[in-house]
Amino acid sequence: MKNILIIILALSVFTSCYKVSDEKGFISDNIYLKGADTIMVPLGGKGNTDVAWLDGSSMPATFSIENVRDASGNRSEQFFTQYPYKTWNKPYNNKTDTTLALINAKLTEQQLPAVSINPVNGMLQYLETTSNLKNAGDVYHVDVKVSNSKGEKLVKDYAVLKLTSEKKPYTFYQAATAILLVNNGGQTTFTLYDNIPEDALDRHQNIYSRNGKELVDIYKQSNEPATGIKVIIKYLDAEGNVFESKDYATYATGTESYFDYSVNRQNTAEGAVVEFPVTPFPARQDLLSYLKGGTKDFATLDTASLHTEVYGQNKWPFLNPWPEDSWGASRWYIRLRSKVVFNESGTWVIAARFPYTHLDGTF
């Protein structure tokens, strides 16, 4: 009993000396931008950084750019000049926004700086209007103000920006070109399957440099439209003849393609042409597009060379063995599965060449 009384007295002394704070919120001294120490900002390019690390600071927090300093520590006013830029005022829905008029109704032109900060998560964003900034090679220091229920804090050197001339007008992620055989029962099987995965960086460089080593070729045809994008999708046979664009289609129910995230399709001699009024395109940037060409008969497929090179010489990766005669292969078609995001306005071409295919039937 005596021990219990001692504990109670000790607790009463402790509580009488301890004052519970009525102070609300917490803001850390260790807030920083996650990711690279120096952010490369390509002049004329578009992109964003990672978000802020709040180190347990109370949420919600609000971010704003307080200053951008040059190498001499002077404020660089060019980062605070605003330019007209189209942004979404309502979410885009590719199922219902099927015309330019419907899409444009969800876009509004705002005056925005070339580099800004997301006020909610601290992500830095840069737009194509960085083409107005000077000069490639210069380095700048970004100071950011962070506010929450505790108060506000100035984070010096929240980010270091280096302007570069190496903009990335498009980003290639992956592609797989394929020839599929079809039998009279409508069953299909892959025979040619050339896959460029996301981690095949040497093959990605082949695409960017257009050195002719890959079946896929991506390039800019013109700078028009100045705002928005046209994409020409073209499939080529072994001689460079274009498959009829009217036959191009999204692969199957349950898959999606560039056609499903664009408008104003036109079937031309160059290929299928689609449009979208703003970049990046497609608006869904994780889109893995599935597109195929029309079904052809075997008179236009060099099955002998295909069988020899794919199955005998292992020239191309493949998924399935050549089917038995009893399977009844009678026709074929081509398919392109790809993921590409265009960041720069203009007219772009996604071309895919399919070996062993001869639209004129001569080989």
pLDDT by residue (tens digit) across 331-360?
999 999 999 999 889 999 999 999 999 999
- CB-side exposure of 239: number of CA atoms within 13 Å? 11
Pairing verdict, β 263-267 and 139-148: unpaired
Choice between 84 and 18, residue whose per-residue pLDDT is larger = 84
Chain-wide mean pLDDT for the chain?
92
3-class SS at 144? strand
Token digits of residue 229: 């994008």
- In this structure, the number of other CB atoms found within 10 A of the CB of residue 106 comes to 15
Rounded mean pLDDT, 168-197: 95
Question: What residue segments make up the domains of the chain, in order of their start?
Answer: 32-164, 170-353
Tell me the CA distances in angstroms from 79 to 83, 126, 127, 141, 314, one per residue in order.
11, 10, 12, 11, 55
Distance, in Å, from the CA atom of 360 to the CA atom of 363, rounded to the nearest integer, reads 9
pTM of the entire structure?
A: 0.79
- State the DSSP code for 349: E
Pull the structure tokens for residue 170: 């498009």
Percent of the chain with pLDDT over 90: 85
How much is the pLDDT for 45? 85
Taking only the tens place, the pLDDT of each residue in 95-146 is 999 999 999 999 999 999 999 999 999 999 999 899 999 999 999 999 999 9
Examine the pLDDT at 2 and tell me if it is beyond 50: no
Position 169, amino acid: P
Query: Model confidence at 7, in pLDDT bands (50, 70, 90)?
Result: very low
Write down the pLDDT at residue 11: 45
Q: What is the pLDDT of residue 23?
A: 58
* Cα gap 319→343, rounded to integer Å: 33
The CATH H-level superfamily of 32-164 is BT4661 domain 1 (2.60.40.2710)
Contacts of 296 by beta carbon, 8 Å cutoff, 6+ apart: 331, 332, 333, 357, 359
